[in-house]
């Protein structure tokens, strides 16, 4: 019972090319080993050197780390500003007139902001916010589409020392209200709408409904994006185009303490109430900057595209704070990947000559399903590095990404991290690490992960267990907003000095980490603990399968039995013989005991808006129960109804 069985064996290895290695920020295993060793042996000098060199300080720090488990404070005594580190820092050199943001709207318009122009916009927005009463220490909620103003809004808050709480534009009015209330946000920044699938998707009605029940909100700032009609509360609502446009484009950055709140970001936990993850200024900035530089190997010539939404941690860390601190050119896209055609992403990569592309496995599997003809139609020759994030990538999707998108030339960085970790903790470094499809590979500098059993003892190589991080790092969450008790219990309740990730993992004989998925998604079948992801991966490796989600359902004989929800490629008929073939396929890939008891064909799988399959709902359906609990993050409720209809 103490280990998670890990059965998938992947033997392929891909070394970085000599050309990539020669030009990379960090090259070769020896360089990594040496720096990694230093980062663990003498962390204080490692981090303090980096913090001095890489951050722009208004006042230098005096103490590197104060670690009183479970609370860490970094770079004490220092003062700085996050927007100055993203923008002002670049204005004295050649990056002044370099593109910071290139934005493409879904209808096709393109806008570019140089570092100087972005700086001016951020100063104007900060002045407008200040005129509306926002002060250092206040919280501002942001509920916007993927338009340049969302980046401006985040950095304008940071410039004033106010914290932002970005709420993904797909959340409901209720979810928005709960987050506004928990953060006690004084002001909300939104837009009339954003373009999705060719139409204006309104945002203002949800803000209006949320604010009705959130008396803390004094002002609402609205970007006119789509021109659709909006209702208006006189005195409370203000057009961005009026108040920001007439504000002065100069505003000194407010210096804040290193541990000053930079933002809260809400994420689902095991209870129905989302947690406000707290990130503070200096440590978060340093960690996102360093990981951006080394994991994405960012250079001045790069055009970097992360397809995440700014409403998620990936957007915070790897669209805004990390890449802008590095002085990168960041591509931003408003819309969906299949508007007006399923090759939109590949067309954009060709148009903007994107060099580094970072997306989610769920997106990659969707592209696989849409067919090879779409990427094959466009010029992807500018790409030099690919990344994935958010969930385990099954080796078959990895291989497709490698062949069809990377043309067997681009390293793939499979980056493991969480909202709570602030930045990437386990990932290949592209000029260093030989990759193995499906493995996030090795820890970043200063990160000491371990796979442990329930007693906290290290597991032997190739034995599955719980993934923990044994020491603090600068980018880690500091607490849960308004709920330090929940912070203590969730992350340090099991092991008092080790951060508990909630994920299962194994480390192989080469020291590579393989993430097995959330431990709450682990099943126990006939005394064997099995990772849902491994069975899914096996299913997806079958040529007929587009996507699969596996859950355990109660079974009188075996404890749990495996139910697999499977979507087939469009032309495949849903036959009983296919069910049997898939069961046999899993048995062949993993072992007879991993054979699913039941295969259910589905048109689509229920997902959160960030693309994660909602296994909790599938477990209920598999068990024949009514769905209970929070479904505010469900992408498409009709999927659930259809899954029920598909029941035999
Ligand atoms: O289970 C892990 C999975 O996503 C979880 C974190 O989700 P969230 O806080 O929404 O952040 C997603 C973006 C960083 C983790 O506990 N996860 C994330 N990246 C990977 C992953 N699982 C496997 N491989 C990854 N590369």
Three state DSSP letters for 33-67: HHHHHHHHHCHHHHHHHHHHHHCCEEECCCEEEEE
Highest mean pLDDT among 4-13, 554-563, 632-641: 554-563
C-alpha span between 553 and 555 (Å, rounded): 6
401-414 confidence digits (pLDDT tens): 999 999 999 999 99
Residues with Cβ within 8 Å of residue 569, at least 6 apart in sequence? 369, 543, 544, 545, 546
Given the structure tokens 């033997």, which residue do they identify? Answer: 11
DSSP 310: T
CA 308 – ligand 1 centroid, Å: 13
Backbone phi, psi, residue 464, to 5° = -75, 150
pLDDT for res 393: 85
pLDDT for res 593: 72
201-219 confidence digits (pLDDT tens): 999 999 999 999 999 999 9
Q: Which tokens is 644 given?
A: 């029920």
C-alpha span between 204 and 187 (Å, rounded): 14
Please name which of 326, 270, 277 lies closest in space to residue 299, comparing C-alpha atoms.
326
Q: Which residue has the higher pLDDT, 599 or 3?
A: 599
C-alpha span between 423 and 404 (Å, rounded): 28
The residue whose CA has the least distance to atom 12 of ligand 1 is: 390
The residue whose CA has the least distance to atom 26 of ligand 1 is: 416
Mean pLDDT on 541-564: 85
Among 245-259, 422-436, 461-475, 596-610, the minimum mean pLDDT is found in: 596-610
C-alpha span between 529 and 526 (Å, rounded): 8
* pLDDT interval class at 538 (50, 70, 90): confident
CA 458 – ligand 1 centroid, Å: 22
Among 123-137, 153-167, 493-507, 522-536, the minimum mean pLDDT is found in: 522-536
* pLDDT interval class at 260 (50, 70, 90): very high
Q: Which tokens is 514 given?
A: 């393989």
70-118 confidence digits (pLDDT tens): 999 999 999 999 999 999 999 999 999 999 999 999 999 999 999 999 9
Please name which of 302, 354, 345, 360 lies closest in space to residue 326, comparing C-alpha atoms.
302
C-alpha span between 271 and 259 (Å, rounded): 28
Q: Write down the mean pLDDT value for the chain.
A: 91
C-alpha span between 438 and 555 (Å, rounded): 30
- Helix (H/G/I), strand (E/B), else coil: 81: coil
* pLDDT interval class at 1 (50, 70, 90): very low
CA 283 – ligand 1 centroid, Å: 21
pLDDT at 634 over 50: no
Instruction: Count CB atoms within 10 A of the CB of residue 339.
Output: 16
Domain 522-647 fold? GMP Synthetase; Chain A, domain 3 (3.30.300)
* pLDDT interval class at 635 (50, 70, 90): very low
The residue whose CA has the least distance to atom 18 of ligand 1 is: 390
- Homologous superfamily of the 7-81+257-448 domain (CATH): ANL, N-terminal domain (3.40.50.12780)
pLDDT for res 520: 62
Backbone phi, psi, residue 231, to 5° = -80, 160
Which atom of ligand 1 lies at the shortest distance from residue 414's CA?
26
| CA count, 13 A, side-chain hemisphere, 99 | 16
pLDDT at 570 over 90: no
CA 503 – ligand 1 centroid, Å: 9
Q: How far is CA 89 from CA 92, 161, 607, 639, in A?
A: 7, 17, 40, 47
Does the pTM exceed 0.75? yes
Please give the radius of gyration of the chain, using alpha carbons only, rounded to the nearest integer: 24
Given the structure tokens 């980096």, which residue do they identify? Answer: 50
pLDDT for res 644: 61
Which atom of ligand 1 lies at the shortest distance from residue 517's CA?
1
Q: Do β-strands 598-601 and 110-114 pair in parallel, antiparallel, or remain unpaired? A: unpaired
Pocket of ligand 1 (CB under 6 A): 267, 313-314, 389-392, 414-419, 440, 501-503, 515, 517-518
Summary count for the chain: helices (H), strands (E): 21, 30
119: left (phi over 0), alpha (psi -120 to 50) or beta: alpha
165-214 confidence digits (pLDDT tens): 999 898 778 779 989 999 999 999 999 999 999 999 999 999 999 999 99
Domain ranges of the chain: 7-81+257-448, 522-647
pLDDT for res 626: 55
CA 77 – ligand 1 centroid, Å: 33
SS3 for 330-375 is EEEECCCCCCCCCCHHHHHHHHHCCCEEEECHHHHHHHHHHCCHHH
pLDDT for res 526: 61
pLDDT for res 478: 98
Please name which of 166, 121, 178, 170 lies closest in space to residue 139, comparing C-alpha atoms.
166
Same fold, 7-81+257-448 and 522-647: no
429: left (phi over 0), alpha (psi -120 to 50) or beta: beta
Among 269, 391, 477, name the best residue to mutate to test ligand 1's pocket (greatest count of ligand atoms within 8 A of Cβ): 391
* pLDDT interval class at 37 (50, 70, 90): very high
pLDDT for res 606: 86
C-alpha span between 311 and 171 (Å, rounded): 10
408-458 confidence digits (pLDDT tens): 999 999 999 999 999 999 999 999 999 999 999 999 999 999 999 999 999
The residue whose CA has the least distance to atom 25 of ligand 1 is: 416
Contact assessment for residue 450 and residue 470, using Cβ atoms and an 8 Å cutoff: yes
CA 391 – ligand 1 centroid, Å: 5
pLDDT for res 627: 52
Among 311, 390, 490, name the best residue to mutate to test ligand 1's pocket (greatest count of ligand atoms within 8 A of Cβ): 390
The residue whose CA has the least distance to atom 13 of ligand 1 is: 390
pLDDT for res 575: 86
CA 418 – ligand 1 centroid, Å: 5
Residues with Cβ within 8 Å of residue 307, at least 6 apart in sequence? 333, 337, 345, 357, 358, 359, 360, 363
The residue whose CA has the least distance to atom 22 of ligand 1 is: 391
pLDDT for res 610: 78
Among 415, 417, 613, name the best residue to mutate to test ligand 1's pocket (greatest count of ligand atoms within 8 A of Cβ): 417
């Amino acid at each position: 019972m103490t280990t998670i069985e890990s059965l998938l064996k992947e033997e392929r290895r891909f070394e970085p090319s000599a050309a990539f290695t020669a030009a990379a920020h960090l090259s070769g295993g020896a360089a990594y080993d040496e720096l990694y060793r230093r980062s663990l042996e003498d962390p204080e000098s490692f981090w303090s050197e980096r913090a001095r060199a890489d951050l722009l300080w208004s006042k230098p720090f005096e103490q590197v780390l104060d670690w009183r488990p479970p609370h860490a404070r970094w770079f004490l005594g220092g003062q700085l500003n996050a927007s100055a580190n993203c923008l002002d820092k670049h204005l004295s050199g050649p990056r002044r007139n370099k593109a910071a943001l290139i934005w493409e709207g879904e209808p096709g318009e393109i806008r570019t902001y140089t570092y100087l122009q972005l700086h001016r916009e951020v100063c104007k927005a900060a002045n407008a916010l200040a005129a509306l009463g926002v002060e250092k220490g206040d919280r501002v909620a942001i509920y916007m589409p993927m338009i340049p103003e969302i980046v401006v809004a985040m950095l304008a808050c940071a410039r004033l020392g106010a914290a932002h709480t970005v709420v993904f534009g797909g959340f409901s009015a209720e979810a928005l209200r709960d987050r506004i209330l928990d953060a006690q946000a004084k002001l909300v920044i939104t837009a009339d709408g954003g373009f999705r699938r060719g139409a204006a998707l309104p945002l203002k009605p949800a803000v209006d409904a949320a604010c009705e029940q959130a008396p803390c909100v004094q002002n609402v700032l609205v970007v006119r994006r789509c021109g659709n009609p909006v209702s208006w509360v006189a005195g409370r609502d203000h057009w961005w185009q009026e108040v920001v446009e007439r504000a002065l484009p100069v505003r000194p950055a407010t210096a804040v303490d290193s541990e000053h709140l930079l933002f809260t970001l809400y994420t689902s936990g095991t209870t129905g109430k989302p947690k406000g993850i707290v990130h503070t200024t200096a440590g978060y900035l340093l960690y996102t900057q360093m990981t951006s530089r080394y994991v994405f190997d960012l250079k001045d010539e790069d055009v970097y595209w992360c397809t995440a939404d700014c409403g998620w941690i990936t957007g915070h860390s790897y669209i805004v704070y990390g890449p802008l601190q590095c002085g990168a050119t960041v591509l931003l896209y408003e819309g969906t990947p299949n508007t007006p055609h399923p090759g939109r992403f590949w067309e954009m990569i060709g148009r903007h000559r994107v060099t580094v592309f970072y997306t989610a496995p769920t997106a990659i599997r969707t592209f696989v399903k849409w067919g090879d003809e779409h990427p094959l139609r466009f010029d992807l020759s500018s790409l030099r590095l690919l990344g994935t994030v958010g969930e385990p990538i099954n080796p078959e999707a990895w291989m497709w990404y490698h062949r069809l998108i990377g043309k067997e030339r681009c390293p793939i960085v499979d980056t493991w991290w969480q909202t709570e970790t602030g930045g990437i903790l386990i990932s290949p470094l592209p000029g260093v690490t030989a990759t193995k499809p499906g493995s996030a590979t090795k820890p970043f500098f200063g990160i000491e992960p371990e796979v442990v059993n329930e007693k906290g003892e290290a597991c032997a190589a190739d034995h599955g267990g719980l993934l923990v991080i044994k020491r603090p790092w600068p980018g880690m969450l500091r607490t849960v907003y308004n709920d330090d008790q929940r912070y203590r219990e969730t992350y340090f309740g099991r092991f008092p000095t080790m951060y508990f990730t909630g994920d299962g993992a194994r480390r192989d004989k080469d020291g590579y980490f393989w993430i097995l998925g959330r431990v709450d998604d682990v099943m126990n079948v006939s005394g064997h603990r099995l990772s849902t992801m491994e069975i899914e991966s096996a299913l997806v490796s079958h040529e007929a399968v587009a996507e699969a989600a596996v859950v355990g359902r109660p079974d009188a004989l075996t404890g749990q039995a495996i139910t697999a929800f499977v979507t087939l490629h469009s032309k495949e008929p849903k036959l009983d013989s296919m069910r049997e073939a898939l069961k046999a396929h899993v048995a062949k890939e993993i072992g007879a005991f991993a054979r699913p008891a039941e295969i259910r064909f589905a048109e689509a799988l229920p997902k959160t808006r960030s693309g994660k399959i909602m296994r909790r709902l599938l477990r209920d359906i598999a068990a024949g129960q009514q769905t209970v609990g929070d479904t505010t993050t469900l992408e498409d409720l009709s999927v659930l109804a259809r899954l029920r209809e598909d029941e035999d």
